[in-house]
C-alpha cells in the first residue's frame, strides 16, 4: 500500500510540474503544446480515478445508475419474451472477478457465469485495474473469446472459467465469429522505431484459429487498404513533418468492429460476396465493406451516424448499426441500404425511455424484429419489440447508486451450446433447452 501511494504521489507531482511548465511555455510560445495537453489530460485522469488506480474501488468501470434500486434482471413481458438465452458481459459487481459473463434463461434466472480475470492472462505493468473487458464471443462448447481495451491479450476461457489459450497483443473492441468458425478482432501496434513512417498506432484486422489462438491472417489497415488502394486517408491526414512520412490526426480511424459476410446471407447483397469484411471506423463516422481477398473497398458511407459502433449485415440486404451520436445525448439504432444509401431508424427510444452511450455500445436485430440494445455507459442492456415495448431489462447493479459498465448483450437460441458444455462445471442447462 505504501509503495502504491508513493508511486501515485510521485507520478502526480511530476505531471503537475509538467503541466505548470507547459502552461508557461505555451503562453510565451516557448515549446510544443502537444506534450502539455497530454500532461494536462493525464493529470485530470489521475485526479478523477485515483481510487481505482490505488486499488480501492473500480471507479473507471462504474457509472451512476439512472434508476437506483432496480433489480439486476427484470422481465417486463414474459409472454413476449424471445425464446433463448440472454448472454450479457461486463463488470461483475456481485462476483469475485472484476469482469464476467452472465447467462440468463427466458425467466431472468441466472444459470451460468464465466469469471474473467485479466491478470491471469498476461504479466506486466498493465493490470486489471486499468483495462476494460470489451469484446466477447461465445463458442458452442461453452467457452468464450474476450478482448480488452487498453490491454495486451486476446484469450479464450473455458466453460468453467479456465484459461484455454492467450495470444499477446493489443487486441481491442469487438470480437466476431465468422461462418467458418474462425474469430476476427482488431489489433493495434506501435511500429518499430526503424519503420515509423507514420505518426499513429498501426491497426490490423486479425483472423485467429479458435482452437489455439494462432494468427491465420493479419491485414494492415494502413498498407493493405489505405495506401494500397488510395482510400480513407484523405479524411484523416495532417501536414507531414517530413516529405517521406505520412502524418495523421491523433487516432485517425479508431476501428471498433469487423464482421465477415456469410454465404447464407451473401445473396441478399448482390454487390458483395461471402468472406467480405464489414468494418467500422469511428473517427471518420464511416462504415465500409472490403473485398475479403484483396481488401479493395466495395462500398463505404460516412454518416448520418456519428461515432458509430457495431455494424451488422442483415438478411434483408441492409446493414444495421449502433449510432452513438456522441455529444447529442440520445443514441439510436439505424439501418442503411448499401445499394441506395437510404437510411432509416430502427429504434431510438422515447421521451419516457431514452437510451444513450457516448462511447461503446452494441445492438442485435432478432429474427422476430425485436432489438437488443447494450447501453454501455449506463450499465444497462434491454430488449424491445417493434413497438418499443421493453421485454426485459438488465441493470448491472454494483451498489445502491452505481452500475458497472456493460459491454455486450445478445440472445442465443437454446440449441446454441452443446449438450455437455457445462457438465464439467457441475451444471446442466439441458432442462432449459427443452422448453
Q: What is the pLDDT of residues 406-420, one digit of tens each?
A: 999 999 999 999 988
pLDDT of residue 29: 40
pTM: 0.85
pLDDT of residue 425: 87
d(C-alpha 229, C-alpha 217), whole Å:
19
Q: How far is CA 216 from CA 147, 219, 276, in A?
A: 17, 10, 16
What is the DSSP secondary-structure string of 187-211? EEEPPPGGG--BSS-EEEEEEE-TT
Question: What percent of the chain is predicted at pLDDT more than 90?
Answer: 65
Q: How far is CA 177 from CA 9, 140, 174, 209, 348, in A?
A: 44, 11, 10, 10, 27
pLDDT of residue 124: 73
The bridge status of strand 163-168 relative to strand 170-177 is unpaired
pLDDT tier for residue 27 given thresholds of 50, 70 and 90: very low
206 C-beta neighbours (distance < 10 Å), count: 20
- Is the pLDDT score of 377 beyond 50? yes
For residue 234, the 8-state DSSP code is: G
pLDDT of residue 190: 75
pLDDT tier for residue 435 given thresholds of 50, 70 and 90: very low
Mean of pLDDT values over 108-120: 94
d(C-alpha 135, C-alpha 149), whole Å:
8
- Is the pLDDT score of 307 beyond 70? yes
pLDDT tier for residue 16 given thresholds of 50, 70 and 90: low
pLDDT of residue 351: 78
Mean of pLDDT values over 4-11: 57
Q: How far is CA 6 from CA 2, 15, 49, 54, 249, in A?
A: 6, 14, 16, 10, 35
Question: What is the SS3 assignment for 348?
Answer: coil
- Counting DSSP H helices and E strands in the chain, the numbers are 6, 27
Mean of pLDDT values over 192-205: 69
d(C-alpha 399, C-alpha 22), whole Å:
40
Contacts of 70 (CB under 8 A, 6+ apart): 393, 395, 397
β-bridge partners, 316: none
- Is the pLDDT score of 289 beyond 60? yes
Burial environment of residue 354 by CB neighbours within 10 A (0 to 12, 13 to 18, 19 or more): middle
For residue 221, the 8-state DSSP code is: I
233 C-beta neighbours (distance < 10 Å), count: 16
pLDDT of residue 28: 43
- Is the pLDDT score of 300 beyond 80? yes
For residue 270, the 8-state DSSP code is: T
H helical segments located in 2-132 = 2-27, 34-48, 50-53
Q: Which three cell numbers stand for residue 302?
A: 460516412
Q: What are phi and psi of 23, to 5 degrees?
A: -60, -45
Contacts of 397 (CB under 8 A, 6+ apart): 65, 70, 71, 72, 93, 94, 403, 404
pLDDT of residue 423: 87
Mean of pLDDT values over 217-242: 80
Give which of 410, 430, 431, 396 is closest to 66, Cα–Cα. 396
Question: What is the SS3 assignment for 26?
Answer: helix
Amino acid at each position: 500500500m505504501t509503495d502504491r501511494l508513493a508511486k501515485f504521489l510521485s507520478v502526480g507531482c511530476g505531471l503537475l510540474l509538467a503541466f505548470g511548465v507547459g502552461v508557461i511555455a505555451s503562453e510565451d510560445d516557448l515549446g510544443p503544446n502537444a506534450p502539455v495537453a497530454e500532461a494536462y489530460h493525464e493529470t485530470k485522469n489521475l485526479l478523477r480515478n485515483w481510487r481505482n488506480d490505488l486499488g480501492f474501488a473500480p471507479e473507471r468501470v462504474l457509472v451512476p445508475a439512472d434508476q437506483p434500486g432496480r433489480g439486476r434482471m427484470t422481465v417486463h413481458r414474459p409472454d413476449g419474451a424471445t425464446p433463448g438465452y440472454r448472454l450479457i458481459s461486463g463488470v461483475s459487481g456481485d462476483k469475485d472477478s472484476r469482469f464476467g459473463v452472465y447467462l440468463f434463461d427466458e425467466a431472468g434466472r441466472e444459470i451460468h457465469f464465466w469469471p474473467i480475470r485479466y491478470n491471469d492472462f498476461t504479466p506486466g505493468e498493465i493490470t486489471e485495474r486499468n483495462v476494460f473487458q470489451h469484446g466477447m464471443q461465445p463458442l458452442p462448447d461453452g467457452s468464450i473469446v474476450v478482448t480488452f481495451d487498453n490491454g495486451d491479450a486476446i484469450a479464450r476461457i473455458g466453460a468453467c472459467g479456465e484459461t484455454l489459450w492467450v495470444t499477446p497483443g493489443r487486441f481491442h473492441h469487438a470480437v466476431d465469429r465468422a461462418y467458418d468458425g474462425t474469430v476476427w478482432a482488431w489489433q493495434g501496434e506501435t511500429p518499430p522505431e526503424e519503420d515509423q513512417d507514420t505518426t499513429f498506432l498501426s491497426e490490423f484486422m486479425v483472423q485467429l484459429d479458435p482452437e489455439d489462438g494462432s494468427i491465420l491472417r493479419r491485414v494492415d489497415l494502413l498498407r493493405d487498404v489505405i495506401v494500397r488502394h488510395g482510400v480513407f486517408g484523405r479524411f484523416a491526414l495532417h501536414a507531414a513533418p517530413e516529405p517521406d512520412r505520412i502524418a495523421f490526426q491523433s487516432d485517425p480511424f479508431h476501428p471498433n468492429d469487423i464482421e465477415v459476410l456469410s454465404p447464407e446471407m451473401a445473396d441478399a447483397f448482390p454487390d458483395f460476396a461471402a468472406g467480405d469484411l464489414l468494418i467500422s471506423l469511428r473517427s471518420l463516422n464511416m462504415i465500409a465493406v472490403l473485398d475479403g481477398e484483396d481488401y479493395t473497398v466495395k462500398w463505404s458511407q460516412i454518416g448520418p451516424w456519428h461515432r458509430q459502433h457495431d455494424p451488422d449485415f442483415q438478411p434483408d440486404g441492409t446493414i444495421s448499426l449502433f449510432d452513438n451520436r456522441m455529444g447529442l445525448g440520445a443514441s439510436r439504432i439505424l439501418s442503411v441500404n448499401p445499394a441506395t444509401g437510404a437510411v432509416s431508424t430502427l429504434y431510438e427510444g422515447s421521451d419516457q425511455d431514452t437510451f444513450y452511450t457516448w462511447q461503446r455500445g452494441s445492438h442485435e436485430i432478432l429474427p422476430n424484429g425485436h432489438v437488443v440494445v447494450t447501453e454501455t455507459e449506463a450499465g444497462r442492456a434491454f430488449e424491445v419489440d417493434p413497438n418499443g415495448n421493453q421485454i426485459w431489462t438488465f441493470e448491472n447493479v454494483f451498489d445502491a447508486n452505481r452500475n458497472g459498465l456493460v459491454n455486450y448483450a445478445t440472445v442465443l437460441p437454446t440449441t446454441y451450446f452443446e449438450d455437455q458444455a457445462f457438465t464439467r462445471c457441475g451444471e446442466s442447462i439441458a432442462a432449459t433447452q427443452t422448453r
